[in-house]
Amino acid sequence: MGSLDQQTLPAALKARGVSRRQFVKFCSTMVATLALPPRYLGAVVKAMESARRPVLVWLEFQDCAGNSESMLRTSNPTVTEFVLDLLSWEYHETIMAGAGKQAEAALERVVREHKGEYIAVVEGAIPTADDGVYCTIAGRTALEIARHVCSSAAASIAVGACAWDGGLVRANPNPTGAVGLQEAVPGIKVVNLGGCPHNPANTAAVLVHYLTFHEMPALDQYNRPLFAYGNIIHDQCERRAHYDAGRYVEEWGDEGHRKGWCLYKMGCKGPEATFNCPVVRWNDGTSWPVKSGHGCIACASHRFWDNKSPFYKRLPQVPGFGVDVTAEKIGWVALGAMAGAAAAQAIGSTIRKKVRPPEASEGPTKPSSSPEA
Amino acid sequence: MTEMHGGSRQISGPYQLAPGRTRIYVWEKPVRFAHWLLVLSLVVLSVTGYYIYNPFVISRGRAAYVMGTARFIHLVAAWAFIAAILVRFYWFFRGNRWARINQFIPTRRERWQDAVETVKYYMFRRWNPTPRIGHNALAGATYTLIFGIAVIEIITGLALYNNVVHSKCLGLLVGWVPRLADIQWLREIHFLVMFALWFFFIHHMYSVLLAASEEKNGCVEGMVSGYKFVTQADLQREFGTRPGGEKSEPVRAVRQTPAAGKVSG
Amino acid sequence: MARIVVDPVTRIEGHLRIEAQVEGGAIADAWSSGTMFRGIELILRGRDPREAWIWAQRICGVCTMVHALTSVNAVEDALGIEVPDNARLVRNIIAATQTVQDHVVHFYHLHALDWVDLVSALQADPVKTSQLAQSISDWPKSNPKYFKGIQERVKALVESRQLSLFGAGYWGHPAYHLPPEANLMAVAHYIEALAFQKDFIRIHAVLGGKNPHLQTFLVGGMATSLDPNEPGATINPERIDFLLQTAKSALEFVDQVYIPDVLAVAGFYRDWFGRGEGLGNFMSYGAYPQGSIKNPSRFFLQQGIILNRDLSKVYPLDPANITEYVTHSWYDYAGGDAAAKHPSQGETSPRYAGPKPPYEFLDVDKKYSWLKAPRYQDKPMEVGPLARLLVAYASGHEEVKSLVNGTLAKLNAPPAALFSTLGRVAARALETRLLASHLVEWIQALSNNLASGDLRIHNGEKWDPRTWPRSARGFGFFEAPRGSLGHWVEIEDAAIKNYQAVVPSTWNAGPRDGHGQRGAYEAALLKTPVADPERPLEILRTIHSFDPCLACAVH
Ligand code: HEM
Ligand code: HEM
Ligand code: NFV
Ligand code: SF4
Ligand code: SF4
Ligand code: F3S
Ligand SMILES: [Mg+2]
């Protein structure tokens, strides 16, 4: 098969002055992110030491490149390490040197020479309406490319909401019939890394897990790694004490907002979102949306655009009513109507009592008999 | 026939009944227990539930735990609510003739007719409500609906709870729910069902009070004591020529009083 | 003669296809096509205008946040909302950070390999490389050991025979002119810039929770609460300190690495000051309000139009003159495709009419792109850093004038050299310098407000939709890294009725209009020499000089 005779990682790292201590530290960061017990550190170190740069291709379809950009923002390991040392990153439109024919040839070569060995990362949704004309690359549809490339991969990773479940592109009314990878190419092995974009800290950890154990980490019912998507944001949130205490931001910029109180009343979807943002955070652990003062929009949840919006309201829009009609409003109107009906009935009954002929007062003995009878 | 099981308590004490009325033991203990536990837990669940939806009290103190408390109480009340529903469901199969499941789902033609007549009564197309000892068929159907809604509330509530606790046990029970509808829609349903329950509450209050005033059967007290006051005609219709029915099983709880006067109890 | 197809054009955002007719070793005609459509304008309909920015931001993850900002501008315009001064400052800080970061990434990671031959760097002498680097700046890392390390890394890569992202490059192409030492220096800074961009963008993470796709805008202000005494506030003295330090380090990087590199590379490719000119019409909406957004004349970067390269005159901009054609685009207009429509009346009705995939060539005489063709007074316009700089320069922006004149003097080039492929590259670098220094100023202004007790960050008067009129229309605009960005929103019954985005790359990469006039890319490619039609490096140079973003352009 392919030329797998490259240099090993420690040699590559040593060549650029990375000490063994730094290397082990990097491995232990990965162990922590993966939520593995510390005893796995040895296995990770050993595996990384002998890892032989597996080939990776990164495909972009109906995307915004936010996941590519996000990948460029990772420090543990940096993208440089991924590209130069850890993996052989052979195709990625946004940053690869080659273009046009040469780029396509590079992709084709991977599919041909590394069949069943390479990792295919997919970013963006895949349009299925009108024979897939809404996304073509080199004259071929995204659907065709995805089938061709992902079905020969050892494993596929869908990064971001769009690649997982169609994301934004699939939101109502889904003008292009967009779907996620596992729906577009059924039957292949896919790991879904939801988020808009994905958090590269998790993606890096998945890749390291793969390099170490030659398999993907434990997955949930959506094929998302449990270590990243197993817990509710709300349960890990630093504002949680304020939630429990009943201290809420009520207006943007108010005292509560300045004091870092809970954003529940501003529509925060943390209680119905799972992800590890509060723990791994973003951009090298700098911050995450709630820490910076805005509610969570549950960007790592299934079909979150339609399911978790409107983002500034506690509950979804009741279908069939206007955007300014909340579920609560509907509830109160219905209660009012019922109270009105009861009042009307009460008045009617009082009148009936007054005008009821005495012979009807005992009532019929059979259910079917009526006052008129 | 177990169906004739009408309770076994002899009545004592100075009850005074309306003229021509008979005191009869209708609502057995489990029915009343379930009913009032439902009422109590529903009030608590509503107040705490609404607070969870819209925390209208903002606390400022350091030691406050308002939402935490509200959620805790909501959960405790939720278990009470579930217990009440379970007790009542059990009694669908164990209870007396007025507590049985056939009183709720109008399967027989006669019950259907009763329901239609009751609708007519509400629409002022009849002078009087249809006479019944238990609840009329329409009321029964409404209660069925409310039990159904309560079940939805329990299922969505448990699913929301499991979203927090991720318990294996609960997962077996309600793990399928979030696959059917997103957790956010479960919240929406859970919230809207609360209004449906309030909707029923208004309706229920009204019709119970209406029945109490129209039928003079002491139905409100009946939910407390278990006894209703019925006419000879009611008894005749329900049990045949004499109390106890044609199979002549005695309805021991039934006692006739000639005395006139106010109903108390 | 030969028809060259470059598809995919890589090292850009999105799916761009260039078809070019080459005659006598140069491009005789060219067509630019966007090959991906999502329909975000349609997806936005019926949604809450207050959250439109969250959706619109996903038009692009590269220039993330510019659509968010333009969206809140549009909704605020529709509802008549003025934002507090702190919100204006935070928006300026976030936007300037975006532009600085975007420009650095563009130069090093998207554009440099058009000028820099990676493989040639293996021949470099690290000592000489260090001398070269020290001769153009005092960047502290420029020692032989550092360059030797980089060289060994590249060597290991090449020897592994798996060149990763660099495998399919046009190494050894005759159009590469840099000496090996310059190549090695550039490769080192390519890696350096990767580290820089991820550290620098933490400004966005602090203010917006994450990058890409910040989560902090609000109709009426920002979600970045400020308080001098609260650790829980988004902005407090400690965070200000972080922002300042990070901004200052950016200024250092720009001054000591980016600008010197651009000048060094340009010095070896002087003929590219005479290529890739394009339309000669330039437009800027103006950006970075100094006070109210209602007052563009006081924006930090001016608004205006330059026609036919005439820098003696800047025409005022009137958004009413903006229209979009779909004559050559895969859309229908009610009432026919010949006439253009103003975005406030805009329509998005996709109808693919191209060849059935898989295809070899587009039918360029008919419809051939998912991009619409925007026009100003029926004229095609170039937008972007060069347009902004020219408008500012011609409007008498003192700082811009001295920057531009100083640079032209260093390069020994006339102002006309700016109308070129390298002119765009240089303008981008100068703008980065300008914004990095003002970034520091805006952070300081924010810090002063904080100290003076002005903590207002959001104007909540119109937060509740019940305070809105039944219907309203708004126009939001901004100068994104790639140029003039406009969002038009129509609100009815508290929901979005129509949403139209006309985006910088739509202006630049758009197809022909109803009169057959070329878009900016198409015009700029004319007469470009192509040494080897199999390896059209020259096409990449000119197209990349615009910094294409196709997800933006089509949306
Ligand atoms: C009559 C019955 C009930 C009523 C009226 C009621 C009402 C409510 C309401 C209004 C909410 C707030 C929804 C929101 O805005 O997020 C809520 C939340 C909740 N309810 Fe109930 N509920 C009832 C029964 C139950 C039951 C039986 C359970 C079972 C465990 C339950 C568990 C929950 C849970 C877990 C939450 C979410 C609390 C949280 O997010 O922390 N509820 N309920
Ligand atoms: C919202 C709270 C309430 C709920 C969910 C509720 C539910 C029910 C149900 C399910 C029944 C059928 C009894 C059975 O066979 O189990 C019933 C009957 C009854 N309830 Fe309630 N109830 C509520 C509140 C009340 C209150 C506050 C009163 C007293 C004022 C009341 C008085 C009665 C009476 C008198 C009956 C018997 C009516 C008949 O004969 O049809 N209920 N209720
Ligand atoms: N064109 C464009 Fe953007 C920019 N800059 C948008 O407004 O890149 Ni994605
Ligand atoms: S998931 Fe979000 S960030 Fe990723 S491509 Fe889709 S819109 Fe962009
Ligand atoms: S801010 Fe959001 S996630 Fe955090 S505690 Fe409040 S509701 Fe939960
Ligand atoms: S919006 Fe997304 S980034 Fe995290 S805080 Fe919420 S899951
Ligand atoms: Mg548009």
In a domain, B227, yes or no: no
> CB C316: neighbour CB atoms within 10 A?
9
Binary contact (A342, B203; C-beta < 8 A): yes
Q: Which residue has the tokens 């008999």?
A: A369
Q: Is A252 on the interface with C (CB under 8 A)?
A: yes
| Coil, strand or helix at B202 | helix
DSSP-assigned states of every residue in B140-191: HHHHHHHHHHHHHHHHHHHHHHHHHH--HHHHHHHTTHHHHS-HHHHHHHHH
Residue B128, in any domain of the structure: yes
Give the residues of chain A that fall short of pLDDT 70: 1-18, 50-52, 359-373
Distance of alpha carbon C171 from its chain centroid, rounded? 27
**Tokens 């990682």, residue?**
A9
Is residue A160 included in any domain, yes or no?
yes
Q: Does residue B129 belong to any structural domain of this protein?
A: yes
Distance of CA A283 to the CA centre of its chain: 17
Q: Which stretch of DSSP H or E encloses residue C17?
A: strand C16-23
Taking the C-alpha atoms of residue B83 and residue B77, their distance in angstroms, rounded to an integer, is 10
Residue B146 in any domain: the answer is yes
Task: Based on the fold, state whether residues A225 and A280 are members of the same structural domain.
Answer: no
List residues near ligand 3 (CB under 6 A).
C 13, 60, 62-63, 66-67, 480-482, 485, 503-505, 549, 551-553
Q: Are residues A40 and A137 in the same domain?
A: yes
Give yes or no: residues A35 and A159 share one domain.
yes
Distance in angstroms (rounded) separating the CA atoms of residues A24 and B245 = 87
- Residue A218 is assigned to a structural domain of this protein: yes
Examine residue B149 and state whether it is found in any structural domain, yes or no: yes
Rounded-to-integer distance, Cα A158 and Cα A330, Å: 39
- Which residues, 6 or more positions from B86, have their beta carbon under 8 angstroms from its beta carbon? none
Measured by CA distance, the residue closest to atom 14 of ligand 2 is B31
* B125 and A CB contact within 8 Å: yes
β-pair type (B255-256, B21-25)? antiparallel
**3-class secondary structure, A313:** coil
Hey, is A152 helix, strand or coil? coil
Cis peptide bond prior to C358, omega within 30° of 0? yes
- C530/A contact by beta carbon, under 8 A: no
Partner-chain contact C212 A138, CB within 8 Å:
no
At residue A333, the 3 state secondary structure works out as helix
Q: What is the CATH number of the domain that holds A83?
A: 3.40.50.700
Ligand 2 pocket test target in B32, B42, B208 with most atoms within 8 Å of CB? B208
Q: Which of C364, C379, C413 is nearest to C32 (CA)?
A: C364
Q: What pLDDT, on a 0 to 100 scale, did the predictor assign at position A373?
A: 27
Q: Which atom of ligand 3 is nearest to the CA of C102?
A: 5
Count: domains in chain B: 1
Q: Is A239 in the pocket of ligand 5 (CB under 6 A)?
A: yes
pLDDT of residue C175: 96
**A61 and A166 both lie in a single domain:** yes
Task: Find the distance separating the first CA and the last CA of chain C, reported in whole Å.
Answer: 34
CATH of the domain at A296: 4.10.480.10
Instruction: Give residue C58 CA to ligand 4 midpoint distance, Å.
Output: 6
Strand locations in chain A (E): 55-60, 88-92, 119-123, 126-127, 136-137, 140-141, 155-159, 178-179, 190-193
Of residues C50, C63, C181, C189, which has the active-site annotation? C63
| Structural domain includes residue A274 | yes
Residue B245 lies in a domain: no
Q: Is C13 assigned a catalytic role?
A: yes
How many CB atoms within 10 Å of residue B62?
7
Report the CATH number that the domain containing residue B184 is assigned in CATH.
Answer: 1.20.950.20
Do residues A60 and A175 share a domain? yes
Range of the domain at A301: 231-343
Q: What is the pLDDT of residues A173-217, one digit of tens each?
A: 999 999 999 999 999 999 999 999 999 999 999 998 988 888 899
Same-domain pairing of A8 and A25: yes
User: Could you give the 3-state DSSP secondary structure of residue B65?
Assistant: coil
Catalytic residue among C328, C505, C512, C522: C505
Co-location of A90 and A152 in the same domain: yes
> Do A172 and A320 reside in the same domain of the chain?
no
Enclosing domain of residue B60: 29-215
Q: What is the pTM of this model?
A: 0.93
Active site (annotated) includes residue C552: yes
Residue A149 placed within a domain: yes
**C-alpha span between C381 and C508 (Å, rounded):** 7
The answer for residues whose C-beta is within 8 angstroms of residue A212's C-beta and 6 or more apart is A43, A44, A47, A48, A51
In a domain, residue B15? The reply is no
Using CB atoms, pick whichever of A332, A348, A367 lies closest to residue B124.
A348
Element (H, E) at C6: strand C2-6
Cβ contact, residue pair A95, C165, below 8 Å: yes
Regions of chain B where pLDDT drops below 70: 1-19, 240-265
- Whether residue A210 lies inside any domain: the answer is yes
In a domain, A364, yes or no: no
Does residue C309 sit in helix, strand or coil? coil
In a domain, B226, yes or no: no
| A130 and A148 share one domain | yes
**Are A66 and A131 in the same domain?**
yes
β partners of residue A219: A225
Q: Last residue of some domain: A181, A204, A229?
A: A229
Chain C contacts in chain A segment 263-302 (CB below 8 A): 281-284, 286-294, 297, 299
Q: How far is the C-alpha of C254 from the C-alpha of C248, rounded, in Å?
A: 10
Query: Which positions 114-173 of A are in contact with C (Cβ < 8 Å)?
Result: 125, 130-142, 144, 168-169, 171-173
What atom of ligand 2 comes closest to residue B134's alpha carbon?
40
Look at chain A and report how many structural domains it folds into. 2
A157 with A294, same domain: the answer is no
pLDDT at C339: 96
Angle between the N-to-C axes of helices C421-452 and C398-411, in degrees from 0 to 180, rounded to the nearest 10? 140
Q: What type of residue is B176?
A: W
Domain contains A180: yes
Q: Are residues A204 and A240 in the same domain?
A: no
Please pick, among C88, C482, C541, C555, the residue that the annotation labels catalytic.
C482
C158: enclosing H helix or E strand: helix C144-159
Distances, alpha carbon C65 to alpha carbons A147, C71, C475, in Å? 33, 10, 17
* pLDDT tens over chain C, length 555 residues: 689 999 999 999 999 999 999 999 999 999 999 999 999 999 999 999 999 999 999 999 999 999 999 999 999 999 999 999 999 999 999 999 999 999 999 999 999 999 999 999 999 999 999 999 999 999 999 999 999 999 998 998 888 878 889 999 999 999 999 999 999 999 999 999 999 999 999 999 999 999 999 999 999 999 999 999 999 999 999 999 999 999 999 999 999 999 999 999 999 999 999 999 999 999 999 999 999 999 999 999 999 999 999 999 999 999 999 999 999 999 999 999 999 999 999 999 999 999 999 999 999 999 999 999 999 999 999 999 999 999 999 999 999 999 999 999 999 999 999 999 999 999 999 999 999 999 999 999 999 999 999 999 999 999 999 999 999 999 999 999 999 999 999 999 999 999 999 999 999 999 999 999 999 999 999 999 999 999 999 999 999 999 999 999 999
Residue C505: active-site member: yes
* CA proximity to A99, closest of B5, C536, C81: C536
A309 half-sphere exposure, CB direction, 13 A CA radius: 22
Q: CA of C341, closest CA in chain A: separation in Å? A: 22
C482 is catalytic: yes
Q: How many CB atoms lie within 10 A of CB C406?
A: 11
